[in-house]
Structure formats: structure tokens, C-alpha cells
Amino acid sequence: MADAAVVTVESAQEVVHSRSHRYRLGWTGAVDRAIGAVVEPIAALLVVVEVVILASGVFTRYVLGRPLVWTDELGSIIFLWLAMLGSVVAYRRDEHIRLSVLVRRASPRVAEYLNAISSVVVALFVAVLMPASLRFLNQERDNLTPALQIPQSYVVLSIIIALSLILIIALLRMAETDLRVVGPVLLAAIVIGAGVYLARGAFAGLGNLNLVIFFFLLVGACVAIGVPIAFSFGLGTLSYVLVVTTVQPDIVVQRMSEGVSNLVLLAVPLFIFLGLLMETAGIARRLVEALASLVGHFRGGLSIVLVAAMYLVSGISGSKIADMAAVAPVLFPDMVKRGQKRTDMIALLATSGAMAETIPPSLVLIIIGSVTGVSIAALFTAGLLPAVVCSIFLIALALWKAHRQNESVSQRAPLSVIGRTLFVAVPGLLLPLLIRYFVVTGIATATEVSVVGIIYTLLVGVLVYREFKWRSLYPTLVDTVALAGAILLIIATATAMGWALTQSGFAQQLADILSHAPGGKGGIMLLSIVLFIVLGSVLEGIPAMVLFGPLLFPVAKAAGINEVHYAIVAVLAMGVGLFSPPLGIGFFSACAIGKAEPEHAVFPILPYLGVLLVGLLVIAYVPWISLGFLPANQR
């Protein structure tokens, strides 16, 4: 959904954030390119190193029976460097997850002001956080890692370097902006920030109203004007700590470091890499072609293919845009020829993306497992059937529409063609089964299994399909670190923000409200669905789950709701929110991929969202759909 995801991610190519000729060609451009020339190859190399380390761990443990005790530790150290350098790459490429609707619709002059505010916010957040980061570095100087005896300061150094580079890039963007725009913005930000800090005594008496000021108004305003979500979370948390509490801001750096120190999260960049490899290796395209040969001749058959294709390719890349972009270009031209309305196609594409969040190996499921302690293997098993149920509802509506609109049909594909396309697609069909088998049987962890998928995909692309080009490997690695860095920085700042909300007492208040919902378990589930739909539309799945998962899951468990079932419902609810107009980022992404104006797709998507919501309620109140295939001790 990170979905990160991103979301879920709108890149700079899709928003109004054009670089001036001065930035591309002048001294600022030279500095920017120099940063990219150093950081991008290092970050790409770290992905390769992680693949080698984890593959070595699986091989020595399962094949040789001699596990390497240091692989997890070294993997964690390299992972933090990968996450931090990836956040630099993402910021340099304008690929941090952000809500860019307002910027895209603003006039060029207003957009310039909004972008200037974004750069100033990022620069001030990093500049204020830097002294705390240096103190944290000094504190960790004498602490050694258990197995390799490496000073922890070498690990924390990645945060210092990343913050420094992000600050430089933010200053470059400010330098390229018209001084008449960035000057007043910077001055206003400094004056307001200093005034609030000097008046911090007045905030002490406001109690929980501070939560509204810093975590609702400040963070909400930053997100609305296009400040990347990670930095919006970070600014709100750091401001709250400095103004309202007596705690040193070092705690923000510590919590950010802890947020991305969980080795389970290493699956994020590796599954992103796997998803991108699937596209370049030709696996995704062949899966779609096989499905089209089977049912494409029915009236509404291509709608079935679209939903089924999203089921098969979704949940791996970490980006719903990548998933939709892999399927839509293959199917949309033929769907248009058959008389289907483009807005209906976009509506089905978006809602198919929403339901596919529970399909393993979904990054959202992995992140839920890492922040709540729920078994990832159980989540992988539990997510399959709910997605089938939602797919049936979507397909039923699509077929009804096709018959009502008298959509044309095509000739049935000959059996020889069907057999050939299915045979060619077998390697792709085996990949999800292979991943699930390795996790469920314990051969590899949820993190390590991504390496199995990467090696398998490379072999298929090189030896079977012979479509993978080695020259595409480096760009794919850079795309991987950019998206992973964007997702992981959100997790880092959201972890710090979650700590602040917990310390303020908000977590307990939220838990009390949820636990006292009328109707017992049923009321808690219904209120949770509403809450997660709202969170999914505003924050996107990954940051929402990192923030609120640890707060809400204990309440559900105390009420007698199975945590695995609750997780599946939460993911589906956030998917509905993510693709719901007028705020859902996924909705606008689907419109961009389908080449239609969002206002034209609003009404066509409502029936699909309606049936998806019906499917969600069925899953929520029939727990067996999520838990039926789990062992008895996990139900």
C-alpha cells in the first residue's frame, strides 16, 4: 500500500516541480549531479551486497547446515546505510511520498511558493535535528555490536551523512528559486519557529490541545501543501518535543534509528527490487497474456483479466503505481476497442489495486508484522482468500456492466495459443507459490525469501525468456533504493511520531475510545474500518500502519479479535481509502496511468468502491475467510 506505498508514490514527473535551466546547467546542477554520482552507485551496491549476504545465510543454514551467526547483524548495519542513502536518492529525484494534488492544480506562481515552502521545511527540520544527531553519534561511540564488535557510531554515521546531503539538496533548491519567493518564505518560517519556541511556556498549559496543534494542524498543513510525508511527520514530532516537552530532541533521532533497525524491514527494498525485476524480465506481461487467452473472448472477459492480473502481480513491487502501470498498457487498448469506457476501466484498475494489498508478499503485510509482532507467515496465508472474495465482487459488477453496455466480444483463442501462452507463463505463476512455500516451510524468513525470488526471477529473465538486459540492472537498482528510501524514512519519522503520541497519553485515549465502542467486537471492528479508511485516504497504508498499528492492535486483541484477521481487515480498509476520491493518492495515480481527468472518473469509481466495501464487511464479519487456512493454534 510505503506502498509505501508509496504509495501511492507520485514522482516529480507527475507533479508541478519543474527544475529551472539554472538548476540543471549552473553550479547548483553541478553539485546536485556530483551528489547523485557518488550516492546512487553506493546505494545500488548496498542492495547487491544485501542480496549476497542473505543468500549466503540461507545457503549455509539450509544446505550446509552451518548457519553464519553474523549475517543478520551485518545485514542490519548495511540496511540502515541503505535506508538513509536511499532517502537521499529519493529526495534528490523528488520521489518521496507526498500529496501533490494541491501543487498540481495550483497556478505556476502559487506552485513555486508551495515548492519553496517544502524546501524550507525540509532544510529547517534537518538543520534543527543535526545537533541532536551529533550528540547521539557521540553517545553510541563506545557501544559495540554483539557479533562483529563494530562501534554503533559507524551505524549512526549513516544518519548524519544522509541528513547533511538532504540539507545540501534542500539549500540547492532554495538557491534555484526566485529570491522574491524563497526569501519571504524562509524569513517567515524562522520568525514563526523562533516565536513558537520562545512562547513554549504558554503551550505547556494547553494539554492535549498541543496534539491538535502539532500533529493535526501542523502535520496536516505540511502534507496538504506537498511537503513529503516523512518530513511532515518529522517536523511535527520535533516541534512537539522542543516546544511542549522537556525531553532532549536526541530522542527523535534515537526513535528514527530504532524505526528502521528491524531486520524484517530489509524485505522492503528487496521486494521492491524483485517487483521491478519481474517487469524487466517480462514475467508480468506474460502472465497478462496468458489470462487474456483464457477468458478474453467473453463479454467483459478483459475485465476478468485485469482483476486477475492485478491479483497475480500486485503486492510485490511496493508501489501500486508500478503494479497498475504493468497491467494497464497491455489491456487498455483492447478494452477500448471493445467499447468499454475509459473511466470504467480506470475505476476497475483502481479498486483492483485496493483489494490486492493483502496478497503476499505484500510490503504492507510485512510492515504490519514488523511493528505489531503478528506472524508474517500467517499474514501471507490469511491474505489470499480475502483478495479472492473482493475480486469476485469486482468481477461480478464489471460483468454486469459489460452486459448492460453490450460490450463487444472477440474470437476465442485457439487451444494451441492458449496452451502456448499458459506454458510460457508457468515460471511467473510459480514465483508466488515458491515464495510462500519457502516462508511457510521455514526454509527462509520473510526477508530472506525475497532473495530467493530475486535469484529465480533473474534466472527466468536471462535463461528462459532471454528478455532481461544487464544494462537495465543499474537503473533498476537505483529505482529500488529511491522507492525504498522514501518508504523507510516514513517508517523512521512515523516511529518517532508514534512514540510522541504514546508519551502524550493519546494512545491510551484512543484505545479507550475504541474499546468502549458500542456493540462489543462488532462495534470495534466497524469503528476500526472507518478509522483505517480515513487514515488510508490521508496518509497511505504504510505510514498509517506504522503510526496506529501498535496502538490499535492491542485493543482489538483485548476485545477477542484475532490479530491476523484484524490486520487483513485493516489493510483492505486502508486500500479502500487509498483509492477513494477526493483525497486518495492511488485514485489520482490510476487516473494518470489511464489518461483521464480525475473529475471524470469520480462517479464511475463509486459503484466499484461500493462493492469493494461490501466485500470488506463480509470479510470483517466472517473471520473464517481470513483464518480458515491457518493452523488451529493461530485462529
Residues 6+ apart with CB under 8 A from 280: 461, 467, 468, 469, 472, 476
| Residue 144 DSSP label | B
- Does the pLDDT at position 317 exceed 60? no
- 399-421 pLDDT per residue, tens: 888 777 666 566 677 888 888 88
What Å distances lie between residue 171 and 22, 37, 158, CA to CA?
A: 14, 18, 20
Phi, psi of 579 (to 5 degrees): -110, 20
- 145-191 pLDDT per residue, tens: 777 778 888 888 999 999 999 999 999 999 888 888 899 999 999 99
Band of the pLDDT at 37, cuts 50, 70, 90? very high
Cell digits of residue 165: 546531503
For 121, counting Cβ atoms within 10 Å of its Cβ (0-12 exposed, 13-18 middle, 19+ buried), the class is buried
Task: Answer whether 126's CB lies under 8 Å from 167's CB.
Answer: yes
Helix (H, G, I), strand (E, B) or coil at 395: helix
Rounded CA-CA distance 380/449 in Å is 12
Phi, psi of 66 (to 5 degrees): -130, 85
- Does the pLDDT at position 593 exceed 90? no
Q: What is the mean pLDDT of residues 71-85?
A: 86
Band of the pLDDT at 437, cuts 50, 70, 90? confident
Closest CA to 315 of 386, 396, 263: 386
- CA 266 to chain centroid: 14
Cell digits of residue 594: 489511464
- 272-292 pLDDT per residue, tens: 788 778 778 888 778 777 877
Q: What percent of the chain is modeled with pLDDT above 90?
A: 19
Q: For residue 333, is the peptide bond before it cis, meaning its omega torsion is within 30 degrees of 0?
A: no
Rounded CA-CA distance 91/94 in Å is 5
Lowest-pLDDT range, 174-183, 575-584, 609-618? 575-584
Within 143-251, strands assigned E span none
Residues 6+ apart with CB under 8 A from 232: 121, 219, 222, 223
Phi, psi of 398 (to 5 degrees): -65, -40
In what helix (H) or strand (E) does residue 528 lie, and over which residues does it extend? Answer: helix 520-538
Closest CA to 172 of 14, 11, 24: 24
Please tell me the number of Cα atoms within 13 Å of 542 on its side-chain side: 37
The three-state DSSP-derived secondary structure of 106-164 is: CCHHHHHHHHHHHHHHHHHHHHHHHHHHHHHHHHCCCCECCCCCCEHHHHHHHHHHHHH
Rounded CA-CA distance 568/574 in Å is 10
Cell digits of residue 577: 481509502
pLDDT recorded at residue 117: 92
Task: Answer whether 579's CB lies under 8 Å from 541's CB.
Answer: no
Rounded CA-CA distance 43/49 in Å is 10
User: CA angle at residue 549 from 543 to 551, to 5 degrees?
Assistant: 120
Q: What is the mean pLDDT of the chain?
A: 81
Closest CA to 286 of 314, 326, 316, 317: 326
Closest CA to 166 of 124, 108, 205: 124
Rounded CA-CA distance 296/298 in Å is 6
Q: For residue 475, is the peptide bond before it cis, meaning its omega torsion is within 30 degrees of 0?
A: no
Amino acid at 269: P
Task: Answer whether 363's CB lies under 8 Å from 487's CB.
Answer: yes
pLDDT recorded at residue 321: 61
Residues 6+ apart with CB under 8 A from 441: none
Residues 6+ apart with CB under 8 A from 136: 156, 159, 250, 253, 254, 257
- Per the model's pLDDT, the better-predicted residue between 231 and 55 turns out to be 231
Cell digits of residue 73: 547483524
Closest CA to 440 of 630, 594, 617, 619: 630
pTM of the complete model: 0.76
The domains of the chain are located at: 12-261
Band of the pLDDT at 614, cuts 50, 70, 90? very high
- 361-398 pLDDT per residue, tens: 677 787 788 788 888 888 888 888 998 999 899 989 88
One DSSP character per residue, 424-447 reads: HHHHHHHHHHHHHHHHHTTSS-TT
- Per the model's pLDDT, the better-predicted residue between 56 and 536 turns out to be 56
The residue written with cell numbers 464479519 in the block is 621
Rounded CA-CA distance 532/573 in Å is 6
Task: Answer whether 519's CB lies under 8 Å from 561's CB.
Answer: no
Count of positions (residues) in the chain: 635
Rounded CA-CA distance 165/154 in Å is 17
Task: Answer whether 525's CB lies under 8 Å from 620's CB.
Answer: yes
> Dihedral angle at the C-alpha atoms of 305, 308, 311, 313, nearest 10 degrees?
-40
Q: What is the mean pLDDT of residues 87-94?
A: 92
User: CA angle at residue 484 from 265 to 115, to 5 degrees?
Assistant: 135
- Does the pLDDT at position 297 exceed 60? yes
Q: What is the mean pLDDT of residues 103-128?
A: 89
Residues 6+ apart with CB under 8 A from 332: 342, 345, 594
